[in-house]
Amino acid sequence: MAGAIAVVGVSFGAIAVASGLSWWMPTALSVLVFAGGSQFMVVGVVAAGGGLVAAVAGALLLNARHLPFGLALGDIMGRGFLARAVGAHLLIDESVAFALAQKNDPARARAVFWFLGTMAFAVWNLGTILGAAAGQVIGDTDAFGLDAAFPAGLLALVLPSLKNPRTRNAALLGAAVALATTPFLPAGVPVLLALVGLVALIPAPKKTEVSA
Amino acid sequence: MTLTAILILAAGTYAFRFAGPLLRARLAKAHGGAAELPPRVTELLSTAATVLLVALIATASLTDGGEFAGVALPAGVLTGGLLAWRKAPFVVVVVAAALVAAGLRALGVP
């Protein structure tokens, strides 16, 4: 996973510089934003002439999912203010998925969250700097299948949670909503809309006999 | 790209990230100041995270820029998913998914 994150980081740095950004900009984005999808989006929209406001707004929408992630994971980061303030920045899809996969053992979940978060931060930024310095696009990372590696890794991590039928129903309903709305809504919104899948958690109302 | 735009994106993203743990602390306080939230709330929140991750997996595997992503990408993810289901090690899952997607593309499958 670390290797995949590093390679995508290299390609981000290279693409950003190739699309006309100064060398320090992709690095600043990787250190300060640290959310790959939104970084590619902001660079891509600007490169396509979409304007800065649209680019930043779209990227923020894409990152809104971190709020419910933090709500679910709050205690796993630690309870102190500093732990939460630093841990919040390390909240990425991968660290959330790894930590949730260990949620029955809070100490282990915490160790996994911090280890994965700091490691991902290190290799993502190292990769970005290398890519920006090389300045040459290393080719299409899709050709290496990296775009399949990330969802497959996340899937392996959530699979055990889906054994629970209530969770599974909510997740399937949510995924269906997200897929159905993806063609019509800006990136990031369909995933948030998936939360309506949580209605599957509401217990079926007891049948009441209607007496005439 | 300007420094201001980078800083706004960074601040907004951090706000989303930090709001979660803060809200959780507040929620715990609202439930009588207990350190632990009631099990029902904890279940709801962790299910919500799973729902978001599964939606992220589904959209990332099946769509690209709002359109159907083709065959190679979902086939790669599906291979990884089947291996994970058969309890294959994590590295095997990730590498196999990438190899299948890359292989199909090398053969000209979209």
CB contact under 8 A, A84 and B22: yes
Which pLDDT score, from 0 to 100, does residue A210 have? 56
Over the stretch B8-67, which tens digit does the pLDDT of each residue have?
999 999 999 999 999 998 888 888 776 678 888 888 999 999 999 999 999 999 998 888
Tell me which of B14, B17, B83, B95 to substitute to probe the interface with A (most A C-beta atoms closer than 10 Å). Answer: B17
Calpha distance B31→A50 (Å, rounded) = 46
Distance between CA atoms of B106 and A176, rounded to whole angstroms?
Answer: 30
CA angle A172, A176, A180 (to 5 degrees): 175
**Shortest Cα–Cα distance, B103 to chain A (Å):** 8
pLDDT in tens, A153-197: 999 999 999 999 999 999 999 999 999 999 999 999 999 999 999
The predicted model scores a pTM of 0.90
ipTM of the complex as predicted: 0.93
Which residues does chain B have within 8 Å of residue A142's beta carbon, measured at their own beta carbons?
73, 101, 105
Closest CA to A12 of A32, A27, A1: A27
* Mutation to test the B interface, candidates A147, A157, A164, A169, most B Cβ within 10 Å: A147
- Round to whole Å and give the CA distance between B86 and B102: 22
Q: Which residues pair with B68 in a beta bridge?
A: B63
What's at A51, amino acid-wise?
G
Amino acid letter, residue A125: N
With both helix axes pointing from N to C terminus, report the angle between A2-18 and A36-47 in degrees, rounded to the nearest 10.
20
Contact between chains at A175 and B58 (C-beta distance less than 8 A): yes
**What does the radius of gyration of chain A's CA atoms come to, in whole angstroms?**
20
Rounded to whole angstroms, the Cα distance separating B18 from B12 reads 10
Return the domain boundaries, chain A. Answer: 2-161, 164-201
A43/A46 Cα distance (integer angstroms): 5
Residues 6+ apart with CB under 8 A from B2: A52
Whether the pLDDT of residue A53 is over 90: the answer is: yes
pLDDT greater than 70 at residue A60: yes
Which residue matches tokens 């990330």?
Answer: A150
**Domain ranges across chain B:** 59-110
Are the C-beta atoms of A93 and A153 separated by less than 8 Å?
A: no
Binary contact (A153, B3; C-beta < 8 A): no
Tokens of B35: 């350190």
Q: Which member of B19, B24, B99 has the closest CB to residue A145?
A: B99
What pLDDT, on the 0 to 100 scale, is given for residue A208? 57
**Percent of chain A having pLDDT more than 70?**
94
